[in-house]
Amino acid sequence: MFDIDLWREILQSINKNRTRSLLSGFTIAFAILLFTILFGIANGLQNTFKEAFMDDAKNSISIFTGRTTKAHNGLQAGRRIQMKNEDFDYVEEEFENKIQYLTARIYKNVTASYKNESNSYELRAVHPDHQFLEKTLIVDGRYINQNDLKNKTKVAVIGRLVEEDLFIKTEALGKYVNLGGVQYKVVGVFRDDGGDNEERKIYMPVTTAQMIYGNNDYIDQINIGYNPNLNYDQAIAFGNLLTRKLKTRFDVARDDQRAIRVMNMAEATKSVNAMTVGLSIIILVIGFGTLIAGVVGISNIMIFIVKERTKEIGIRKALGASPRSIVSIILIEAILITAIAGYIGLLIGFGVLELAGPSLEAYFIKDPGVSNSLVVGATLTLILAGAIAGYIPAKKASKIKPIIALRND
């Protein structure tokens, strides 16, 4: 039941004892403020790490080649290492059970045009598995498939922004796009969470590209999605083994870092995961620490308030206040102060994060923020803590004997 007179009593007590109310409110507001800011910053750090590795599959290993830097087996330094289809097949056969996805990549820069629109894009000739490694999301049509590879069909899968650039509000699917003088049928349009740059790319079958641009069987890069059943250490070992075998195959010195480079995401992912776990622990410690500090603060204030009001409580009891009315007057005051002050702390915290957020990106803190549910949870916890911390002193207060409270000292 809503008792307006009880609330009036409580509001008067808060209002007339401003210093006391402000001090207790300040403690709580400050606890919530710290909680919000620290949590927000920690979340911002986590966001930075997550974003840096979110774009592509986590279990990917990429193989690039370059020029040798060391003479080896009677071969000169500076020799250019070029991977071919046979190398791709070798990797596929040699490591079949360790590989989930496998694709080659050929890079070309092409000028694409449709009707009067034309622009320059990066072209990637790939295998069908590429879709899963790059986490390409098909919006329209389909991706490159095995048939395309076998028949060397002239098809292209274009990025969402390529469609926007060239086809201007019309559907690209089924139409022919001109890539460096050759007409390709658009069989699919894709989206990518990796950003605008990733959506300005064009994919085509690796075999088609080899036939049209140079008529050879060269490939620029091999991407592997290792078997997800491998743990990080096994994946790292696999990457090392792969490197050794390829170096032998191409007659490259063991310590030649440039000729064959293998980039293993397992290594990065492992350290990022460790970092994330560490951050989560820090966040938890900070969060609990701040909350506990808040709870202790409220308890202290409540004990102080009851002590200070002993005489008043005695008077009220002498005038006929029931124990219950004493409990509610003190408890509700505590909860009210906690809730209002907590909310203010929250708003200030949000404000600080909002204002300082953009300038923090330089310190690897991106979109610092706290989820609403977490904050509501924290505030509820504080209110609950205020209630518990307030209840025991309030109950004690209701048991105060008026004669003791009213002694003339």
Partner 1 sequence: MLKINALHKSYAIGDSSLHVLKGIDLSVEEGEMVAIMGSSGSGKSTLLNIIGMLDVLDSGEYILDGLPIDNLTEKKAAVYRNKFLGFIFQSFNLINYKNALENVALPLYYQGLKRKKRQELGMFHLEKVGLADWAHHLPKELSGGQKQRVAIARALAANPKLLLADEPTGALDTKTSHEIMAFIQQLNDEGKTILMVTHEEDIASMCKRIVRLRDGVIMEDKTVTQVRASQYV
Q: Of 19, 93, 215, 320, which lies in the binding site for partner 1, with binding defined by CB under 8 A?
A: 320
Distance CA 258, CA 251 (A): 13
Distance CA 186, CA 176 (A): 6
Q: Which residues contact 111 (CB under 8 A, 6 or more apart)?
A: 118, 119, 120, 121, 179, 180
**Nearer Cβ to partner 1, position 237 or 315?**
315
Residue 269's alpha-carbon distances to 49, 89, 233, 258, in angstroms, are 10, 27, 11, 23
What is the amino acid identity at position 95? F
- Contact status: 401 vs partner 1 (CB under 8 A): yes
The CA-based angle 264-270-271, given to 5 degrees, is 110
- Contact status: 402 vs partner 1 (CB under 8 A): yes
Residue 340 C-beta: closest distance to partner 1, Å = 19
Residue 308 C-beta: closest distance to partner 1, Å = 11
CA gyration radius for the chain? 34
- Contact status: 11 vs partner 1 (CB under 8 A): no
SS3 268: helix
Residue 299 C-beta: closest distance to partner 1, Å = 24
Site string for partner 1, 17-36 (x = CB under 8 A): x-------------------
- The number of residues that bind partner 1 (CB under 8 A) is 28
* Token couple for 81: 């290492």
Q: Of 272, 315, 340, 356, which lies in the binding site for partner 1, with binding defined by CB under 8 A?
A: 315
**Is 200 in contact with 159 (CB distance < 8 Å)?**
yes
* Token couple for 51: 């974003």
Stretch in the footprint of partner 1 (CB under 8 A) among 8-16, 65-73, 185-193, 200-208: 8-16
**Nearer Cβ to partner 1, position 11 or 168?**
11
**Nearer Cβ to partner 1, position 319 or 355?**
319
**Nearer Cβ to partner 1, position 29 or 326?**
326
Q: Of 178, 325, 328, 381, which lies in the binding site for partner 1, with binding defined by CB under 8 A?
A: 325
- Contact status: 406 vs partner 1 (CB under 8 A): yes
What is the amino acid identity at position 165? D
Stretch in the footprint of partner 1 (CB under 8 A) among 10-18, 196-204, 230-238, 247-255: 10-18
What is the amino acid identity at position 160? R
Q: Where are the alpha helices (DSSP H) in 357-371?
A: none
**CB atoms < 10 A from the CB of 288, how many?**
11
Stretch in the footprint of partner 1 (CB under 8 A) among 198-206, 270-278, 363-371, 399-407: 399-407
Task: Note the residues at the interface with partner 1 (CB under 8 A).
Answer: 5, 8-9, 12-13, 16-17, 311-312, 314-325, 398-399, 401-403, 406, 408
